[in-house]
Structure 1
Amino acid sequence: MYETLINEIDVGIHVIDEFGKTVVYNDKMMEIESLSREDLINKDFLDVFRFEDEHDSTLLEALHHQKSTQNVKQTYFTKGGKEITTINRTFPITDETNVIGAIEVAKDVTKLEQLIRRNMEQKGNTRYTFDSIIGGSHAIQEVIEHTKRATRTPSSVLIVGETGTGKELFAQSIHNGSERTTGPFISQNCAAMPDTLIESILFGTSKGAFTGATEKIGLFEQAEGGTLLLDEINSLSPMLQAKLLRAIQEKSIRRIGDTIDRKVNVRIISTINEDPIEAIAENRLRKDLYYRLSVVSLFIPSLRERKEDIPLLVDSFIGKYNQLFRMEVKGVTQEVHTLFAEYDWPGNVRELEHIIEGAMNLIVDEEWIDVSHLSYNLKNKMQLIKHQAPVTFTKSKQDKDFPERASSICNLKDYLQEAEQYYIKKALEKHKYHKTNAANELGLSRQTLQYRIKRLDLE
Structure 2
Amino acid sequence: MEEEKRRLIMYEKLMAEIDLGIHAIDDSGKTVIYNQKISDIENMNPQEVLHKPVREVFKFNEGQGSTLHRAMTEGYDFRDEKQTYFNNKGVEITTVNNTFPVMHHGEVIGALEVTKDITRLKRLVQENMNNGTRRYRFQDIIGRSEPLEEVIEHAKRATRTNSSVLIVGETGTGKELFAQSIHNESSRSAGPFVSQNCAALPESLIEGILFGTAKGAFTGAENRPGLFEQAEGGTLLLDEMNSLSPDLQSKLLRVIQEKTVRRVGDTKERKIDIRLLATMNEDPVDAITNGRLRKDLYYRLSVVSLFVPPLRERMEDLAPLSEYFISKYNDLFQLEVEGISTEVRKLLASYHWPGNIRELEHVIEGAMNLITEEKYIEFTHLPLQFKRKRPRPPEHNEIFHEEESTPLLKDYLFQQEKTFMQRVLKEHNYRVQETAAAIGISRQSLQYRMKKLGIQKIRE
Same fold, TM-score > 0.5, yes or no: yes
Is this contact kept in 2: 1:123–1:183, CA < 8 A? Answer: no
The one-letter code matched in structure 2 to 1:370 is E
* Alpha carbons of structure 1 residues 383 and 311: separation in structure 2 relative to 1, 3 Å: closer
Partner of 1:355: 363
| CA distance in 1 between partners of 2:385 and 2:345 (Å) | 17
Output aligned runs, 1:372-411, within 5 Å. Answer: 372-382=380-390, 389-390=403-404, 409-411=406-408
Report the alpha carbon displacement of residue 414 of structure 1 after superposing the two structures with TM: 2.0
Output aligned runs, 1:302-451, within 5 Å. Answer: 302-382=310-390, 389-390=403-404, 409-451=406-448
Partner of 2:284: 276
Partner of 1:188: 196
Is this contact kept in 1: 2:197–2:239, CA < 8 A? Answer: yes
Deviations 1:111-133 (A, max 9, x none): xxxxxxxxxx9972322110110
* Alpha carbons of structure 1 residues 187 and 384: separation in structure 2 relative to 1, 3 Å: closer
Deviations 1:256-294 (A, max 9, x none): 111110000010000000000110011100000000000
Partner-residue secondary structure (3-state), 1:182: coil
Deviations 1:167-220 (A, max 9, x none): 001000001110111111100011111222100000011111122211111000
Deviations 1:17-44 (A, max 9, x none): xxxxxxxxxxxxxxxxxxxxxxxxxxxx
Partner of 1:234: 242
Output aligned runs, 1:170-185, within 5 Å. Answer: 170-185=178-193
* Alpha carbons of structure 1 residues 262 and 328: separation in structure 2 relative to 1, 3 Å: same
| CA distance in 1 between partners of 2:252 and 2:424 (Å) | 38
Partner of 2:263: 255
The one-letter code matched in structure 2 to 1:236 is L
Percentage of pairs with the same residue: 61
Unaligned runs of 5+ in 2: 1-128, 394-399
Larger Rg: 1
* Alpha carbons of structure 1 residues 205 and 123: separation in structure 2 relative to 1, 3 Å: closer
2:155 to 118, 140, 147: 147
RMSD: 1.7
Deviations 1:220-272 (A, max 9, x none): 00000000000001100011000000001111100011111000001000000
Partner-residue secondary structure (3-state), 2:361: helix
Partner of 2:450: 453
| CA distance in 2 between partners of 1:185 and 1:331 (Å) | 35
Partner of 1:64: none
Partner of 2:231: 223
The one-letter code matched in structure 1 to 2:368 is M
TM-score by length of 1: 0.68
The one-letter code matched in structure 2 to 1:455 is K
The one-letter code matched in structure 2 to 1:237 is S
Is this contact kept in 2: 1:122–1:184, CA < 8 A? Answer: no
Which contiguous aligned blocks of 4+ residues in structure 1 show a shift greater than 6 angstroms? none
Partner of 1:58: none
The one-letter code matched in structure 2 to 1:147 is A
The one-letter code matched in structure 2 to 1:197 is L
Deviations 1:12-68 (A, max 9, x none): xxxxxxxxxxxxxxxxxxxxxxxxxxxxxxxxxxxxxxxxxxxxxxxxxxxxxxxxx
| CA distance in 2 between partners of 1:224 and 1:414 (Å) | 43
Aligned length: 322
Partner of 1:61: none
Report the alpha carbon displacement of residue 447 of structure 1 after superposing the two structures with TM: 1.7
| CA distance in 2 between partners of 1:388 and 1:419 (Å) | 24
| CA distance in 1 between partners of 2:449 and 2:155 (Å) | 20
Partner-residue secondary structure (3-state), 1:271: strand
Whether 2:169 is the aligned partner of 1:161: answer yes
Partner-residue secondary structure (3-state), 1:268: strand
Report the alpha carbon displacement of residue 389 of structure 1 after superposing the two structures with TM: 3.7
| CA distance in 2 between partners of 1:280 and 1:123 (Å) | 30
| CA distance in 2 between partners of 1:123 and 1:376 (Å) | 34
Partner-residue secondary structure (3-state), 1:259: coil
* Alpha carbons of structure 1 residues 384 and 307: separation in structure 2 relative to 1, 3 Å: closer
Is this contact kept in 1: 2:167–2:305, CA < 8 A? Answer: yes
* Alpha carbons of structure 1 residues 411 and 440: separation in structure 2 relative to 1, 3 Å: same
Partner-residue secondary structure (3-state), 1:158: strand
Partner of 2:35: none
Is this contact kept in 2: 1:136–1:309, CA < 8 A? Answer: yes
Is this contact kept in 2: 1:123–1:181, CA < 8 A? Answer: no
Output aligned runs, 1:21-170, within 5 Å. Answer: 124-170=132-178
Report the alpha carbon displacement of residue 427 of structure 1 after superposing the two structures with TM: 1.1
2:303 to 284, 295, 316: 295
Partner-residue secondary structure (3-state), 1:346: coil
| CA distance in 1 between partners of 2:294 and 2:402 (Å) | 42
Is this contact kept in 1: 2:170–2:282, CA < 8 A? Answer: yes
